[in-house]
Chain A
Amino acid sequence: MRVMAQVGMVMNLDKCIGCHTCSVTCKQAWTNRAGTEYVWFNNVETRPGLGYPKTYEDQTKWRGGWERTPGGRLRLKSGGRLKRLLSISASPVQPELNDYYEPWTYDYETLVKAPLGDDFPVARPKSLITGEDMAITWSANWDDSLGGIHETGESDPIIAKLRSEANDKIKFEYEKSFMFFLPRICEHCLNPSCMASCPSGAIYKRAEDGIVLVDQDRCRGWRQCITGCPYKKIYFNHRSGKAEKCTFCYPRIEVGLPTVCSETCVGRLRYIGIILYDADAVTAAAANQGRQGSLRRAAGRAAGSP
């Protein structure tokens, strides 16, 4: 038995109003830098919807997270150590810019500096990647509040799964509309598959509070962690060539302040606290093959209850 502490956050999804204040304050605090324009440590998704990046939950495509071997052990879905060692120089399975979105800005200065012409000046979109004019076709939150879902929602992997379970009762029709908002940060997993994926050992889980961090000095930009994370909550900074992720605002946590996302959550749906758990029981709980009841018992044991 090895008792560990984990800071955790519970989000009461029933209360989420989908306002994205959390996303903005997080971005302002952590990722308003070159190379992280597309990076949202905290984002909010409308469900049904594709999520961010698109369809990240489809692990047959993205190979994220763990799978159970026939022998009852855990193995990264992206492959065993040997396979991953042999393919380390190949580009990992990971979302591309189109699966996120091409970040852009506008030529705002035109509004101030346009010489006298024959029509209103206008600020056109410019790619933050190429600097060229661009047409906007996707964003960090494109399908907000069910925008375009009747076209794209068929690709939502959760919808596809629910459909098959619910006999096609889910319809993208006016009076059958439904939605909810899903705010997401890094899960700071007990057994992080990103950490297990990292060839450089740059990702570590802090012993004192369980926060999962990327050591920016050790990261070599292999990007295996991006594949490894089933939530696609590790992002590649294309300027620095390093992986970055939600830090659970550890500098704030260390001085007794809540994370930015929870402090600014106007829906008041985020609860932060510390969970004590038995680290030795985590692997067994994660590898549990049984159905819900036994899983709950296994998880309960890990969390220290009988």
Chain B
Amino acid sequence: MYVKDGIITWESQQTDYPSTGPDRPEYEPRGCPRGAAFSWYTYSPTRVRYPYGRGVLLEMYREAKARLGDPVAAFHEISTDPVKRRRYQTARGKGGLVRMSWQEAVEIAAASYVNTIKTYGPDRCVSFSPIPAMSMVSHAIGTRFNHLIGGAMTSFYDWYADLPVASPQVFGDQTDVPESGDWWDATYLMMWGSNVPVTRTPDAHWMAEVRYRGTKVVTVAPDYADNVKFADEWLPAQAGTDGALAMAMGHVILKENFVDREVPFFRNYVRQFTDLGMLVRLVEHPDGHGLTASKFLTAAELAHHSDPQAPAGPTDESFKTVLWDKATGAPVVPNGSMGFRYAADGAGKWNLDLAGIDPALSFLETPGSEAVEIALPCFEDPRGEGSIIRRGVPVRRIGEHLVTTVFDLMLAQYGVGREGLPGQWPSGYDDAETPYTPAWQEAITSVPAEACLRIAREFAQNSEDSEGRTMIIIGAGVCHWFHADVTYRAIMALLMLTGCIGRNGGGWAHYVGQEKCRPMTGWFNLANALDWSRPPRTMIGTGYWYMHTDQWRTDGYSADRIKSPLSTGSLDGLHTADAMALSHRLGWMPFYPQFDRNPLDLADEAKAAVATGEFATPQAYIAEQLKSGKLKSALEDIDAPENWPRTMIVWRSNLFGSSAKGNEYFLKHLLGTHHNLMPNDYAADQRPTTVAFRDEAPEGKLDLLLSADFRMTSTTLLSDIVFPAATWYEKHDISSTDMHPFVHAFTPAIDPPWETKTDFDVFTLLSRAIGKLAETHLGTRSDLVAVPMQHDTPGQITQPGGKVYDWRDTDLPCVPGQNAPALMIVERDYTAIADKLATLGPLADRLGFTVKNITYDMTHPVERLGKLHGVMSHGAGAGRPAIDTDQRFAEAILTCSGTTNGELAIAGFKDLERKTGRKLADLAEGSEEKIITFAQTQASPQPVITSPEWSGSETGGRRYAAFTINTERLKPWHTLTGRMHFFLDHDWMIDAGESLPIFRPPLHMASAFGEPELGPNGEKEIVLRYLTVHNKWSIHSEYQDNLFMLSLGRGGPQAWLSVADAKSIGVKDNEWIELSNANGVFVARAVVTHKLPDGICFVQHAQERTIDVPKSEATGRRGGIHNSVTRILVKPTHLIGAYAHQSYAFNYLGPTGVQRDIVSTVRRRSQEVTY
């Protein structure tokens, strides 16, 4: 930063990253054009300099407060008086913000919080702030505030569709990927739907440079993207068809490396590190389709235990999967599966040591196997309709079970035939009719069969020669599709089959979202306020907005539509809203508000029922209430006023100008202001059965919308109160990323100017104001908190076999913590929120901080922080270490994490050594006494310590690559089998036809949502796939209003069209067009280019409505944001939970907010635009 007389003049990148070593390029310089333009914001006319409030709201509030004398009473009145309420809600977004004092802004905000908590319940408060890694303190302080009051914190990684659901499905891990410096280690590099020059600008050089080592670079993209320039070869797969290409490559790799020829490296790798050798039961399909793959065979069946009908008792045996040992000719239970992870006698056995077992990959390797024909699902029809393929697998009988291996199923799935097996098999690679050959994929992807075959061969050959140094950089071009999870699985399968995962220079490199808080334990526990109260209310963002913005009401896409032709019925008749309700009911996924009553009152009721001796526990009382139907989930009547979200705060985010898929639904139903929704009765006859459909849809659920920002955005314009925020150059914070292994600091170049404040100070003020009002309105209350069963906890082994243990309208009991959400009573002293916010609470040392089932003893960190910062002298935090400034908070995060505190890393590894029986602690030895301090991170970026918080190693200056601890130290993946999964056996996965990797085409929006068919329709309009790719000139919505970026782009809203598509509707370059569908309208200037194929348009992500957006012809109102033309599309299988690695954790697993399948009608509009 260049500062003169307290004024920032300009900036350029600091060049102080540690060296990567003598034999490779450096990280320097990092940066990008967006960041380089940041200081424009500091003094720009769009800077929020003072607190602002909605004028009409302020007038009414001031009048009511003068009359009633109490802020809470005043806010209660104006938010419940229907006329007053409508008056300020309909004014949202339309100007009329007036400057106000901090004191009054905080007072109104606090009044709304207290009113919501008291009247409706704390779980009617909601908070949103994404991407903690980029500024952990700013994120954590508000999150901590939210959890101290008992509000719901909505997720973002899944909501942004940046979470690859395949990662928890396959690896049992949120996402773990190599740092970009490890691209240099790859000897064959694919970029698949990831345009790194634009989306990973500072890291792209590694990709450019590795070519000079001789590494071949291949790119898969529908357009001539910026990264195609660097590629040795371009596979222009049509948008959304990547799965077909991957399946055909898999076909080639399986045939040539596992059947025609055996590659010892691959064989040994997959037997030890994947589930390919695990045994799967085959069962007769109930509708007579013959044999189908069902569930993993487990130790429970081996011991001839009867399959438990209800989830009760110790279930470890049901989570131990089985191999066939060729040495003994018998089934064997190997170490490492989830059944060993939590079991009392599992210590030392949770590892991947095969201990002399010689697993059969295929039963064809074993004497005495039989061959049977099985039915497999297939989705080659472009409309998404399934069909059935019959292919043979070798089998054996074990007791009453007919079993085969995952590997045998994989060969059948991929159509790789072997001698002596029945069924329909491709006649050769040139068989264009039979899935999944290179010729078959050509008709779908337009990638020549020859190219597919050649790249598959090169891929495998390189993996064999280099022992796994083939890497696929993969991104949003694949991840943002509805069926991205299966597509990812098909792509990851290529890497898993060829031994590339857990290798430097190899594996999957997914970069969508900057999600990696390397100092994880400290950030996670402090953000969730786990030092004061547990559990927090964390919420799946996609599910929250899908329900609360009433997008479910017009959703014709029920769970039925994803069904396999071999479904056995678990998804039948489920509207997506029903699937949400079921998922919440069974403790799979969270939902808030949780019940139709204030959880404070509910806690009182439950405690009273226990006090009278009627029930043994509060949980038993609630279970009885639920089972009898006296207590209902809020989901079941989501539009009832008592179930609305009431007070919401958004910081470090522009939800309403950026990620809000179905933006116009948000405006209408959540905020109650004008919108551009088009009439749409398409789904009028498709209503949920377990969620009440009120004839009148609510408009304006939120009592108060708060935001903190440094610039005027769509979100601040819609907010009732806007807090002026400090920028990145005006506060202390810490940051880390998956792209490099360093933690670094923000240090203010100037003090927050005008009346701006840091996020830390905003939430401190807010907590104090709430505490003051709470003295008369709330005091100390008990709060009944419902949470789902969580990943990396014993909760994930409560529903064996992945069945749907529904207690609603069945004979099954409702057992909280088993087949219903876990319930806990949390005490909240609402007068002490500020004290708790600013001190490290007693649960830190009493219970420790837990991450990924490793509990870290916090005694020493608490002592250190107490000495360093002092302890508080009075109040609720008396005697506790002070974390009352952003610098101290940053210090606490670093002190409480293994990656930044060597003592914790060692202790964590020691714990893991006990569980796995494997040597691990040496990975951090030598760092016992090392603590990375905040001051050090301010001096320069600090390389982190290897820690069990992550799956790879930096030890000895090595470049970070994910899962190397698994492959080198034989630590299991956090999955059912402890291995990487090709096969998933939850009921819903089976019924969706997605037990194995498979190709599913993009959604057919015509039949799903009544949208028109793709292509020209004879009119001067055309229907195109609406692809919201990243914008070169912004990072999400930030910088899209920055004058430098606007001057380098086209200065306003844009949509890219192919030459032929533009011509068909008479559009020339830079002419105004409108893109619309039932969800809304986007007005833009066309960028016509030959780099795009026909049939798709690019509407760059996060173009909002603040810059040069005219009125639309479609509605006469201001055109929308890019997400005005999208809607939330929930894939029901993402709602699976409480089963092994398909279990919930915040931002770890949940439905993703995909939007690539959306189609839009594009037309030329009058070139006379009005504003």
Give chain A's interface residues, CB within 8 Å of chain B.
Answer: 14-15, 17-21, 23-25, 27-29, 32, 37, 103-106, 108-109, 111-125, 136-137, 139-142, 144-152, 172-175, 177-181, 260, 263-268
Question: Are B1041 and A120 closer than 8 Å at their CB atoms?
Answer: no
**Does chain A have a CB within 8 A of B224?**
yes
Question: Are A112 and B224 closer than 8 Å at their CB atoms?
Answer: no
**Does chain A have a CB within 8 A of B1015?**
no
CB nearest to A38 among chain B residues: B1047
Question: Are A17 and B1051 closer than 8 Å at their CB atoms?
Answer: no
The 7 listed contacts between A and B (C-beta, < 8 Å) are: A21-B201, A28-B11, A32-B10, A105-B1043, A123-B1106, A145-B226, A266-B13
B812 to chain A, nearest CB (A): 51
Closest 9 CB pairs of A and B: A116-B96, A114-B95, A177-B224, A17-B197, A148-B1069, A111-B712, A108-B45, A28-B10, A136-B1051
Q: Which of B1091-1128 contact A (CB under 8 A)?
A: 1091-1094, 1105-1111, 1117-1118
Question: Are A111 and B1106 closer than 8 Å at their CB atoms?
Answer: yes
CB nearest to A177 among chain B residues: B224
Partner of A108, one of B44, B198, B205, B1091: B44
List B contacts of A267 (CB < 8 A). Answer: 204-205, 208
Most-contacted residue by chain A among B1048, B1092, B1106 (CB, 10 A): B1048
What are the interface flags for B804-837 relative to A under an 8 Å C-beta threshold, 1 for contact and 0 otherwise? 0000000000000000000000000000000000
What are the interface flags for B1037-1062 relative to A under an 8 Å C-beta threshold, 1 for contact and 0 otherwise? 00001011011111110001011000
Q: How far is the CA of A207 from the CA of B1118 in the complex (A)?
A: 59
Give chain B's interface residues, CB within 8 Å of chain A.
Answer: 10-13, 15, 25, 29-33, 36-37, 39, 44-46, 48, 52, 55-56, 91, 93-97, 197-198, 201-202, 204-205, 208-209, 224, 226, 228-229, 236, 674, 712, 714, 717, 1032, 1041, 1043-1044, 1046-1052, 1056, 1058-1059, 1068-1070, 1085, 1087-1094, 1105-1111, 1117-1118, 1171
Most-contacted residue by chain B among A177, A179, A266 (CB, 10 A): A266
Question: Are A20 and B1048 closer than 8 Å at their CB atoms?
Answer: yes
List B contacts of A266 (CB < 8 A). Answer: 13, 29-32, 201-202, 204-205
Question: Are B33 and A152 closer than 8 Å at their CB atoms?
Answer: no
Question: Are A151 and B1118 closer than 8 Å at their CB atoms?
Answer: no
CB nearest to A37 among chain B residues: B1047
Partner of A124, one of B209, B1085, B1108: B1108
Q: How far is the CA of A166 from the CA of B208 in the complex (A)?
A: 28
List A contacts of B1056 (CB < 8 A). Answer: 147
B1107 to chain A, nearest CB (A): 5
B990 to chain A, nearest CB (A): 40
A186 to chain B, nearest CB (A): 19
B879 to chain A, nearest CB (A): 46
List B contacts of A37 (CB < 8 A). Answer: 1047
Question: Are A140 and B1048 closer than 8 Å at their CB atoms?
Answer: yes
Q: Is the interface of B mostly helix, strand, loop or mixed?
A: loop
Partner of A260, one of B12, B94, B201, B1088: B12
Question: Are B1171 and A122 closer than 8 Å at their CB atoms?
Answer: yes
List A contacts of B93 (CB < 8 A). Answer: 120
Q: How far is the CA of A37 from the CA of B40 in the complex (A)?
A: 14
Question: Are A122 and B95 closer than 8 Å at their CB atoms?
Answer: no
Question: Are A268 and B205 closer than 8 Å at their CB atoms?
Answer: yes
Question: Are A151 and B1069 closer than 8 Å at their CB atoms?
Answer: yes
CB nearest to A181 among chain B residues: B229
CB nearest to B1108 among chain A residues: A125
A183 to chain B, nearest CB (A): 12
Partner of B1050, one of A19, A28, A117, A139: A139
List A contacts of B32 (CB < 8 A). Answer: 19, 21, 266
A206 to chain B, nearest CB (A): 24
Question: Are A150 and B1088 closer than 8 Å at their CB atoms?
Answer: yes
Question: Are B29 and A265 closer than 8 Å at their CB atoms?
Answer: yes
Partner of A106, one of B95, B1092, B1108: B1108
Question: Are B12 and A28 closer than 8 Å at their CB atoms?
Answer: yes
Partner of A268, one of B25, B229, B1092: B25
Q: How far is the CA of A166 from the CA of B634 in the complex (A)?
A: 69
Question: Are A112 and B204 closer than 8 Å at their CB atoms?
Answer: no
- A178-B229, A263-B29 known, 4 other contacts, Cβ within 8 Å: A122-B1107, A136-B1108, A139-B1049, A175-B236
List B contacts of A142 (CB < 8 A). Answer: 1050
Q: A120-B714, A174-B1058 are in contact. Are A263 and B37 (CB under 8 A)?
A: no
Question: Are A125 and B94 closer than 8 Å at their CB atoms?
Answer: no
Question: Are B94 and A121 closer than 8 Å at their CB atoms?
Answer: yes
Q: How far is the CA of A150 from the CA of B95 in the complex (A)?
A: 41
Question: Are B1118 and A122 closer than 8 Å at their CB atoms?
Answer: yes
List A contacts of B15 (CB < 8 A). Answer: 263
Question: Are B36 and A264 closer than 8 Å at their CB atoms?
Answer: yes
Question: Are A28 and B1070 closer than 8 Å at their CB atoms?
Answer: no
List A contacts of B97 (CB < 8 A). Answer: 112, 114
Q: How far is the CA of A181 from the CA of B226 in the complex (A)?
A: 10
Q: A15-B205, A173-B1090 are in contact. Are A117 and B94 (CB under 8 A)?
A: yes
